[in-house]
Amino acid sequence: MYVHHDAPHSRSRVTYKGALNGDGARTVWVGDVLIGPRATGTDSYEQNRNLVLSEGTRADSIPNLEIETGDIVGAGHASATGRFDDEHLFYLQARGIPEDEARRLVVLGFLSEIVQRIGEPALEARLLEALVAELEGSDGGGVVSRERACSVAELEPDTAKRVVLGGVPIAVVKDSAGAIHAIGDTCTHGDISLSEGFVEDDTLECWAHGSQFSLLSGKPLSLPAYEPVPVFVVEIDGDDVYIDPDVKKDIA
C-alpha cells in the first residue's frame, strides 16, 4: 500500500485487516506513506490488524513513514495481531449458536468493519456476500480450524508422538498396521502423558498406571482409569497429518 500526500491539507486513513488460519499461513503488509514538501497540514494514519485462528501462522507488518515537511496535523501508524477471542465464541454459543456458525460470525465481524465504512449500501452488500462465501467455503464447511500435527514420516509403527494444537495435548499414534490415530494425550486417571506409554495393536497404555485406552473409541479397556479420552478426526494430505482439535469423533 502506497500513499503519497502531495497537496496541502490532505487526509488519509488506511486500515488493512487479515485473518490467518492453518500451519504456514503468513501475511506481510507493507504500508508506505510519503508526505511531500508541499503537503502542509496533512493528517495521515495507517494501521494493520490481524486475527490468528490457529497455531503455525505469522503476520508481519512493515509500516514506513517519510515526512518532508514539518508543518503537519499528524502522521502515525499502528499494528496488532491477536488470537481468536474465545470469550466471543462462548458468548454466542451460550445463546444457542452452533460453534462453527459462531466462529464465522466472529471472523465476519472482524473483517466487515472495513466494508461498513464504504458508505455505499449496494457495494457493501456485495462485499459482505463475498466475505460470507469465502468463510463458508465451497463445501459450506465454515471456517476450517484443522492444524498440521506432524508428517507421516515422523511416526514410527507402534509409537506415539505428543503434539499440542490449539492448547489441546494430543497423542498421535501409528499402529502396527500403519493406521494413524489421534486421542487425548492426558490419562484420565492422572495427569500423565499417554504418548510416553506403549502402543499395542489398536491400544495405548499409560506407562504410570497401566490403563489401556482404545485408539478407536478412546475408552479405557482396563483399570484404574474408567473415563474415556477424546478421539480426534485425522486427515492425511500428502505426507502431512492434520487434526482439528475442536472436532472430536462421535463415539457411540
Distance CA 159, CA 198 (A): 7
pTM over 0.85: no
Cβ-based burial of 28 (10 A; exposed 0-12, middle 13-18, buried ≥19): exposed
Q: What is the DSSP letter of 176?
A: T
Written as tens digits, the pLDDT of the chain (252 aa) is 889 999 999 999 999 998 887 777 888 888 899 999 999 999 999 999 998 887 788 888 888 899 999 999 999 998 888 887 777 778 888 888 887 778 788 888 888 888 888 888 888 888 888 887 777 653 334 444 568 899 999 999 999 999 998 778 999 999 888 889 999 999 998 889 999 999 998 899 999 989 999 999 999 999 999 999 999 888 888 888 988 887 666 555
Q: How far is CA 236 from CA 50, 148, 233, in A?
A: 28, 10, 10
Model pLDDT, residue 105: 82
DSSP alpha helix (H) spans, 140-185:
none
Q: How far is CA 182 from CA 13, 190, 195, in A?
A: 47, 19, 10
Domain boundaries, the chain: 2-136, 147-248
Class level of CATH domain 147-248: mainly beta
Model pLDDT, residue 250: 59
Distance CA 45, CA 74 (A): 8
